[in-house]
Structure 1
């Protein structure tokens, strides 16, 4: 079992406090489990673990007990008009919880009674919706409970934890509103609006009964979350997407606001991991530092967290990640576990626990690096390709492998009262293979291709397989991919006079444009720098996009 650092006395006092106030936290969880990854989500905003057993609940392959991650959660912080820090984060509940299940009320608070009623995760499969759509009439008896009790606005049948009746007067879980009256009416044929072949929805807030994990001031935010996945027998089966909608319910305008995804990516054995950062995909990833893993053996995957949507994005332009920081499972080092609000905040802002900015201390192959103390300042640690020993990575530094945690963040922005910010994150895993540092066949190509697929999957959701939908006249493919000098773009269907192909780099800059198209088109990409590009095809009726790699 993974060892969690904790102060036993503090934890005991915390449990006593919960019991005295009748505010015991909830262990309610459910799983995204339709494809090759099986991963838990919990009502306190954490994920990928079980707080009761203290064991990982994020498995690849899904039918195994091999784990690719141990824990994850959303972190965020900002400053009010008086320059006071407000922050919310979640790790292992060792000091309690910053997030509690349920929405905020009109006074920007969440009571324990309300939290109890909302301590539920609503789960539905696409096949259930398809069956419902096929019914000629809808009654309480023939409507699936997952549709009937969905927490949509105004649903008189909505139910929460332990069957609690919910009165929902604000927008909550999304639904298909057939009569456009803003009320969810399942017996009128309305149903949950989801992406994926399976989706889970839940809501949590940070101004609940307690706010003790970070020991900071709450922000007064409400977070609506949907996790979803596809099962199609392709690369998409190795992806889970998480969409967060973060609503500022407080009267405060927060400046220098940052949102980050914390991840404790334990790849098999927790104590032998390396991490790295891929700026093109805003992705943190983990790979093995040891040739033989105690769980996977000699063949292990590479797993990653890619930030597909961040504040500041304006498709097709994407902003770089604000920072990629790391820390270890210890309490004494400058890059150890955070314990108070300022330490959590430092990791959100390219700083080590003590407030010193991270720096690139890589000088030569084989010399261990820690990311602080010497070298130029940097916002991203370990950004190099671990298969290239002249680039800064844990592998080229021959660091001692360990129990790493990382945080990927947005840039600073202003969060006004009532504002809603969307963040989309993808959890991805390559198939098992020779993927340890030093393995002859080790390459990042697989995780890069998966990240491309995850981004494209969000931008172009796959149509349900069991629903008869008209063929969209915009099919596009690229060959070869990766490409070197030239790529061939195949277009199917009707190609009208307005059809164009535009190629963008990962910063959203237009680098190539084509019109007067045919079914087969050749583009000279010889002068483009190596990297990931996005090709967008547009005609009079619709548009679609696909990624390709220039080598």
Structure 2
């Protein structure tokens, strides 16, 4: 099972023609469905063949989220850069990994998505060497390796590497590694084309993306789609102040009476209807649902909502138009550079709530727009079609290091109460359940570095105490010596790299949370263990 490392080989690549059908894929394994397009566009197909915002998995009907997209920013050489996307084709990202040659072969291999499910993989494992069996196209052409002769990374998409040679070989029985019961995989970067969205100098990132869902009767999971990004620094230099953001145009059913907000305690940004009836042909009708975006691998560090073209308000609260504007919004600043302000929080459905734009600085600064933790809600006079942005932690990313950012799109509809906030309350309950599920089942970003088979406790070493407060100790086994010890956050940021004094690790300065400790032994094998810091 190969998910990382350095090999100087290209992968097996089928010469099978890649049809336009692979340019767009839809997850529809549970109670909702969502489309994913090559180049990173979410929920919208700019080719017009299928427009599918996140919606109930039934024919027709209203949608939960119209479209969403990733934003990233970072600094190098004293210059701050940003790459972002909003609507279909209006983006700084293009399909595929960073390469030295974007030729027709590159387009053939990477200008697409790969959709695979667990049933296909199980059938492949049982029958790949059976005469007459036809390997599914997405498994056959899974982008396990890049073309190193063209400057591409040697290992790309995760796969089961049965012979441990680092080369994806489907005819040898090797197959994709996916999360969930159905997944769509795609690769994007911000260096291949023009920065059509921000007009910024590219940040210099390559992003490996996997959207996935579970076929389950569990109400929370059955109404959730997960999306994981593994973001590589391919800029050739260190990126400081690196930050991820996630933008959304919710359009929950009929957008004209929508409201947006966040719960910083749950790491949740959301949209809900302003009353108990979502009217019109685009609406859900009575008992409308609520929709949310939940930060999983990272904390939600800030949110900001800005006005669409259909809403009146200060110019500084409207859509960003250049790199400086996008950077301001990722830092919870308005277009004129003024800070987001906690303006007169007054509870739900109260027009005394302020909009957060206070250039005179009369109210305290905040990082969270319409945060119900502060009893600050979007005022009634401002309800309508707004755009929302949530941002994560700021980190330093060394050249070729990666950072993992994973979120969930969740929905909830309470049809038992006439209270228009009932669906939002159910959404929060599901968000808490999903956070518990993710904490219990998340393998961490390190899953993309080492074998899943090795992410277990090894008889060759024992790490204790666990949980720990100030120091970890490592006891070696009798057969193999430890060569290196590395410690990572759950989203893949390396904290410590120890080559000799491995019997004791000082963790006193680390925040409370879950971490990964990777041990590499003298025979090249590794063991990865989760550690709880109290």
TM-score, with length taken from structure 2: 0.72
Matches within 5 A, 1:287-302: 287-293=272-278, 294=280, 295-302=283-290
Mark the CA change 1:99 to 1:534 in structure 2 (over 3 Å): closer, same or farther: closer
Deviation at 1:136? Answer: 7.1
Match of 2:154, SS state, is: coil
Deviation at 1:56? Answer: 5.5
Match of 1:285, SS state, is: strand
Match of 2:106, SS state, is: helix
Counterpart in the other structure of 1:100: 94
Determine the C-alpha separation between the residues in 1 that align with 2:57 and 2:40.
22
- Structure 2: tracts of 5 or more residues without a match: 1-19, 444-463, 469-488, 490-511, 516-527
Deviation at 1:103? Answer: 0.9
Which one of the candidate residues 282, 287, 291 is aligned to 2:267?
282
Q: Is the 8 A contact 1:300 1:434 kept in 2?
A: no
Deviation at 1:169? Answer: 6.2
2:117 is aligned with 1:122:
no
Determine the C-alpha separation between the residues in 2 that align with 1:340 and 1:534.
37
Counterpart in the other structure of 1:485: none
Counterpart in the other structure of 1:22: none
- The one-character-per-residue Cα deviations of 1:511-543 (angstroms, maximum 9, x if unpaired) are xxxxxxxxxxxxxxxxxxxxxx9999xxxxx99
Deviation at 1:137? Answer: 2.4
Determine the C-alpha separation between the residues in 2 that align with 1:238 and 1:51.
25
Counterpart in the other structure of 2:67: 71
Give the root-mean-square deviation of aligned CA atoms.
Answer: 3.6
- The one-character-per-residue Cα deviations of 1:366-388 (angstroms, maximum 9, x if unpaired) are 31421121411000011116xxx
Q: Is the 8 A contact 1:80 1:254 kept in 2?
A: yes
Which one of the candidate residues 364, 369, 372 is aligned to 1:376?
364
Mark the CA change 1:55 to 1:353 in structure 2 (over 3 Å): closer, same or farther: farther
Counterpart in the other structure of 2:137: 145
Mark the CA change 1:398 to 1:77 in structure 2 (over 3 Å): closer, same or farther: same
Matches within 5 A, 1:30-429: 30-53=25-48, 57-64=52-59, 65-81=61-77, 83-93=78-88, 96-106=90-100, 114-115=106-107, 117-135=109-127, 137=129, 141-153=133-145, 170-235=154-219, 236-293=221-278, 294=280, 295-310=283-298, 320-330=299-309, 333-364=315-346, 365-373=350-358, 374-384=362-372, 391-394=375-378, 397-429=379-411
Determine the C-alpha separation between the residues in 2 that align with 1:544 and 1:454.
19
Match of 2:286, SS state, is: coil
Counterpart in the other structure of 1:447: 427
Match of 1:243, SS state, is: strand
Q: Is the 8 A contact 2:345 2:377 kept in 1?
A: no
Deviation at 1:80? Answer: 1.4
Determine the C-alpha separation between the residues in 2 that align with 1:291 and 1:175.
47
Q: Is the 8 A contact 1:75 1:89 kept in 2?
A: yes
Counterpart in the other structure of 2:525: none
Q: Is the 8 A contact 2:189 2:204 kept in 1?
A: yes
Q: Is the 8 A contact 2:36 2:45 kept in 1?
A: no
Q: Is the 8 A contact 1:138 1:188 kept in 2?
A: no
Determine the C-alpha separation between the residues in 1 that align with 2:124 and 2:182.
15
After superposing the two structures, state which structure 1 stretch, 297-306 or 361-370, moved more.
361-370
Match of 2:405, SS state, is: strand
Deviation at 1:337? Answer: 0.9
Q: Is the 8 A contact 1:26 1:43 kept in 2?
A: no
After superposing the two structures, state which structure 1 stretch, 136-145 or 283-292, moved more.
136-145
TM-score, with length taken from structure 1: 0.70
Determine the C-alpha separation between the residues in 1 that align with 2:340 and 2:76.
26
Q: Is the 8 A contact 1:326 1:405 kept in 2?
A: yes
Counterpart in the other structure of 2:476: none
Mark the CA change 1:154 to 1:28 in structure 2 (over 3 Å): closer, same or farther: closer
Deviation at 1:117? Answer: 4.0
Deviation at 1:544? Answer: 10
Q: Is the 8 A contact 2:190 2:203 kept in 1?
A: yes
Match of 1:418, SS state, is: coil
